[in-house]
Amino acid sequence: MYFSANYGEARQRFLAAARDRGAHLESFPLGELRGARGEPLSTDVARIGASRGRSVLVLVSGTHGAEGFAGSACQLRALHEAAWTGLSVVLVHALNPFGFSHRRRVNEDNIDVNRNFVDHAALPPDSGYGALHPTLLPADWEGPAHAEADAALLAHAGRLGVREVQQIVTSGQYTHPDGLFYGGSAPCWSHRTWHTIIGEYLTGYERVAYIDLHTGLGDRGAAEPIFRGGVDPGAPRRARAWYGDALTNSEEGTSSSTPIGGNSARALLQDLADAEITAITCEFGTQDGLTVLRALQADNWLWQQGGSVQQAGSVQQAGPADQDDPERSGPDPEQVARIGLLMREAFDPPDPQWRTDVLDRGTAVIAQAAAGVLAESIGG
């Protein structure tokens, strides 16, 4: 009921529901870039309640583009059903609208937005990604080079351990712009826009409950609240009180996610140093980690080495390889469809039970955050 078929539909439904709630709305257009269907791209912000006060609940979708369908659905259900009495709420829809529309996890520059919030004057060093990069971006996807790359990646996993390889691959890398989990060499558009939104919408509150909605990690259909920090030392206690035993922590090794650098919660901690922040990622599981990684590899190969990306009924930019070589033909449409299906199953499975679980469990996590930040305000 609340899941949308594409970014354009999700956006229009979000805006309509926000208007029905009497929300203050503002859109942040992504320049001249267009979506997969030729539609304009924008991050949209809705605020319900006072612009200043004791507490605010912040719900963000689409930081990782293709994962935005679940986040948008949770936001839409909340707009239709949640009461939020005595609480201000700020909903940020499609922080990475390009990825959302094109069903990519990354943005228009192949940047992982949730690895981009770092000090770009002192980027993290290569932690081993460079050695793995050739195994993650083979010269072909359905040929001998891919098989050789897989064998090499398995050899690395056998030598280093699967968890260590996961950490190296997913923590964020800043040396290979055509690679996976690339954090960028400068603040990207979504990064700059998020800081603007924080400055315009979140500086007037004493307490901030932050939920960044994601898919792709953990048990299928489960909602995992992953602690992302706070400015004050009481943040872990608050998060545990709000989310109970379900709360995990990447830094402590209890999460499906290994520790990552440059996630969007860092911007909150930087810009709202005087606020009491309790930040989590809410992660909805889809498939096992290796299957999700395979989808990301396939999508990246398609855009980096597969030539022009064209899907039925869509208007889509050419991939970098095709722009550099006008003589190069685009990939096999059937191959494009197969890779698109891999991404769909990894981040937005069209499974009715999965969608029901996401909505029900996501609603429960949002309710926990709302109740928690309100209780802190009353108690404080």
pLDDT for residue 49 = 97
pLDDT for residue 321 = 45
> For residues 365 and 359, what is the distance between their CA atoms, to the nearest angstrom?
10
Share of the chain above pLDDT 70, in %: 93
Contact 56, 338 (CB under 8 A): no
The CB density around residue 201, as the number of other CB atoms within 10 Å, is 20
- In the chain, which residue ranges form alpha helices assigned H by DSSP? 7-20, 68-81, 97-102, 129-136, 144-160, 162-170, 189-201, 235-243, 265-271, 289-304, 320-324, 333-347, 352-379
Decide: helix, strand or coil at residue 169: helix
Pick the CATH number of 7-115+184-286+350-379 from 3.90.1150.10, 3.40.630.10, 3.40.50.1360, 2.60.40.10: 3.40.630.10
pLDDT for residue 380 = 57
pLDDT digits (tens, 9 = 90+) for 28-84: 999 999 999 999 999 999 999 999 999 999 999 999 999 999 999 999 999 999 999
pLDDT for residue 259 = 82
> For residues 104 and 8, what is the distance between their CA atoms, to the nearest angstrom?
15
Of 177, 186, 169, the residue nearest 127 (C-alpha): 169
Phi-psi label, residue 304: left if phi above 0, alpha if psi -120 to 50, beta otherwise: alpha
Angle at 129 between CA 128 and CA 130, to 5 degrees: 95
Q: Whole-prediction pTM value?
A: 0.94
| Helix, strand, coil share (%) of the chain residues, nearest 5 | 45, 20, 35
Mean pLDDT by 10 residues, the chain (380 residues): 98 99 98 96 98 97 99 99 97 99 98 97 95 95 92 93 92 97 98 99 97 97 94 92 94 81 93 96 97 97 73 37 49 91 98 99 98 82
Using only C-alpha atoms, what is the Rg of the chain? 20
Amino acid residing at 106: V
N-terminal to C-terminal alpha carbon distance within the chain: 39
pLDDT for residue 255 = 84
What backbone torsions phi and psi does residue 329 show, to the nearest 5 degrees? -80, 160
Those residues with Cβ within 8 angstroms of residue 141's Cβ, 6 or more apart along the chain or in another chain: 298, 301, 302, 306, 335, 339
What angle in degrees, to the nearest 10, is found between the helix axes of 68-81 and 7-20? 20
pLDDT for residue 133 = 97
Of 374, 317, 311, the residue nearest 56 (C-alpha): 374
Of 118, 114, 108, 159, the residue nearest 135 (C-alpha): 159
Decide: helix, strand or coil at residue 195: helix
Place of tokens 């990894």: 346
**Which ranges in the chain are annotated with CATH 3.40.630.10?**
7-115+184-286+350-379
pLDDT for residue 324 = 44
- Distance from chain centroid for Cα 55: 24
> For residues 375 and 192, what is the distance between their CA atoms, to the nearest angstrom?
32
- Kindly report the average pLDDT of the chain as a whole number: 92
